Amino acid sequence: MCGIVGYIGQRRAYDILIQGLHRLEYRGYDSSGVAIINEEGSLNIYKSKGKVEALEHYAENKDLSGNIGIAHTRWATHGEPNDINAHPHCSESGRIAMVHNGTIENYSVLKEALSNKGYTFVSQTDTEVAVQLIEYIMQTNNCSAFEAVKEATKRIVGAYAIAVVDRQNPNTIIAARQSSPLVIGVGEDEYFIASDATPIIEYTNKVVYLNDGEIAVINRGEELKV
């Protein structure tokens, strides 16, 4: 089992995400990574095979600013454990980043359909197929990341917990689950996301457990919408 962490609020997201990844290490993993949107709207993704320490070492001296981000410890199911297959994965245009726990059973059918539309893939993962599908839906339906995730979950068969950020909307994280756990911690003007409550309890005791089929829209400074 692997892990998801997310943060949106006023603090430096990187610190909370790394601390959260350490808290989830007990679940087992082979690689890890973070995606953070900085104040200028750049989406910075750092990932590394091996321990979270390797990720921290890799990220040293890089731009770690920003107060919204998602992070992941991976247990490879589709593609070998390496830096490229590590999460977060990015959409073709670089606009959407996503972390995913679980497996997407119909990923090869979806991948072929997206390839036929001109999408290319850099990793061997099922996850990259899902993030490309979300971007494809956003572009063809001209809709928000939430609407695209909602539509994508109708087309995806499998087990997943996901967290998604959109570079063009640095005030929102979308989270969804089907057969893989996901918990949201509600703080003062901040939200925490994690695969279990372990990374969250040091910040808040208000937690919301997502149910199967639910999608959460986590907007900065607004009430949680599920």
Residues near ligand GLU (CB under 6 A): 2, 74-79, 85, 100-103, 125-127
Angle of helix 52-59 relative to helix 13-23, nearest 10 degrees, comes to 160
CB of 191 to ligand GLU, least distance (A): 22
CB of 195 to ligand GLU, least distance (A): 9
Nearer to ligand GLU, 67 or 125 (CB): 125
Minimal CB distance to ligand GLU: which residue? 2
Helix (H, G, I), strand (E, B) or coil at 130: helix
Nearer to ligand GLU, 77 or 211 (CB): 77
Helix (H, G, I), strand (E, B) or coil at 106: coil
What is the DSSP-derived secondary structure letter of residue 149?
H
Torsion of CA 23, 28, 33, 38, to 10 degrees: -20
Nearer to ligand GLU, 125 or 132 (CB): 125
CB of 105 to ligand GLU, least distance (A): 10
Nearest to 129 by CA among 149, 96, 104, 160: 104
CB of 168 to ligand GLU, least distance (A): 25
Nearer to ligand GLU, 156 or 216 (CB): 156
C-alpha distances (whole Å) from 208 to each of 83, 87, 119 are 32, 24, 36
Tokens encoding 216: 């959460």
CB of 142 to ligand GLU, least distance (A): 29
Residue 17 to residue 189: CA distance in whole angstroms: 17
CB of 179 to ligand GLU, least distance (A): 12
The angle formed by the CA atoms of residues 190, 191 and 193, to the nearest 5 degrees, is 155
Sign of the C-alpha dihedral computed for residues 154, 116, 121 and 171 taken in this order: negative
Nearer to ligand GLU, 64 or 175 (CB): 175
CB of 224 to ligand GLU, least distance (A): 24
Nearer to ligand GLU, 181 or 187 (CB): 181
C-alpha distances (whole Å) from 130 to each of 45, 116, 192 are 18, 15, 23
CB atoms inside a 10 Å sphere around CB 63: 14
Nearer to ligand GLU, 74 or 111 (CB): 74
